[in-house]
Structure 1
């Protein structure tokens, strides 16, 4: 019986600690700078929204996309804040430090992000963190003059091929905007 009381106290204590941390996290999140990218397909159809949130140790990207072909897709931050007249207007990867593409190079493009995987229904979650961009000021800001965009590619990034990972056509694009 004593073991059950101790276990119950530990569970209750853990639950209270999580609740306290969550409450603190929620209030901290509301004060953090954010940005969004409303991603559209080549036909103008909405594919979803990706939100960027600045934290002290990086930018977190979160979102849900749909209307993709099943399988892996590369995602990147691109150098221009425009998606029209076609997705090539987004330019190459955001790369203020003139790095190379991929995970084996140093320094790498600031716009490099991990692949996402669309399920059989064409839906994919985006959950990534990058330490290479900021929502603040400076050369690594996604709010540079001319802006930046979030791009989804037809295939996966191989993380090595130059200059863009051999990830195929651009199948989604959204301009990154404050707020």
Structure 2
């Protein structure tokens, strides 16, 4: 369903029932406000070694999706955050598959033209935890490339944003163009729709 975030003007010509005249009666055009649909979603992260968190997402119409997150239990430093293809956590975070990549591109930074849709870059943790806000136009909450039902994954290491060693793609430590060399999957959760406020 496409939503419009602008005002539309409706003008109608009405045939009067029972009237003998075939003339039409024009009504004065009136403005009708069409508001953007607000969508919301939530993801609860659970994982190993006490890493956990909550991500709340919102999107108005076709605007970028806003992710407001809070994660605890991470070691201080940068950690890769990605959306993975599957919402399957039957084997922990390993069954979530590769990064969500509907356009079949190489891994990159969130600001790169060439990137996976699920490449959200890094979040930085302190001893007190990690609170962050991300806005991204490639992770819609509806439509063909919706991320609803997919998994968010927080990684052990800093994502090199596709700029690191990829001389042997698939070899541990040399997977910059596929995973950003972000290391182990520490926590994950499936994104689900939430009631709109």
Aligned to 1:150: 152
Structure possessing the higher radius of gyration over alpha carbons: 2
- Determine the C-alpha separation between the residues in 2 that align with 1:169 and 1:158: 14
Are the counterparts in 2 of residues 97 and 107 from structure 1 also a CA contact under 8 Å?
Answer: no
Indicate the RMSD between aligned Cα atoms, in angstroms.
2.0
- Determine the C-alpha separation between the residues in 1 that align with 2:51 and 2:41: 17
Are the counterparts in 2 of residues 38 and 46 from structure 1 also a CA contact under 8 Å?
Answer: no
- Determine the C-alpha separation between the residues in 1 that align with 2:151 and 2:70: 16
Matches of residues 22-171 of structure 1 in structure 2 within 5 Å? 32-42=38-48, 47-55=52-60, 56-103=62-109, 106-121=113-128, 123-138=129-144, 140-143=145-148, 147-160=149-162, 161-171=176-186
Aligned to 1:177: 192
Q: CA deviation at 1:46?
A: 6.5
More strand by share: 2
Question: Where does the alignment leave 5 or more consecutive residues of structure 1 unmatched?
Answer: 1-27
Looking at both structures, which has the greater relative contact order when contacts are Cα pairs under 8 Å and sequence separation is at least 6?
Answer: 1
Question: Where does the alignment leave 5 or more consecutive residues of structure 2 unmatched?
Answer: 1-34, 163-175
Matched length: 145
Q: CA deviation at 1:108?
A: 1.5
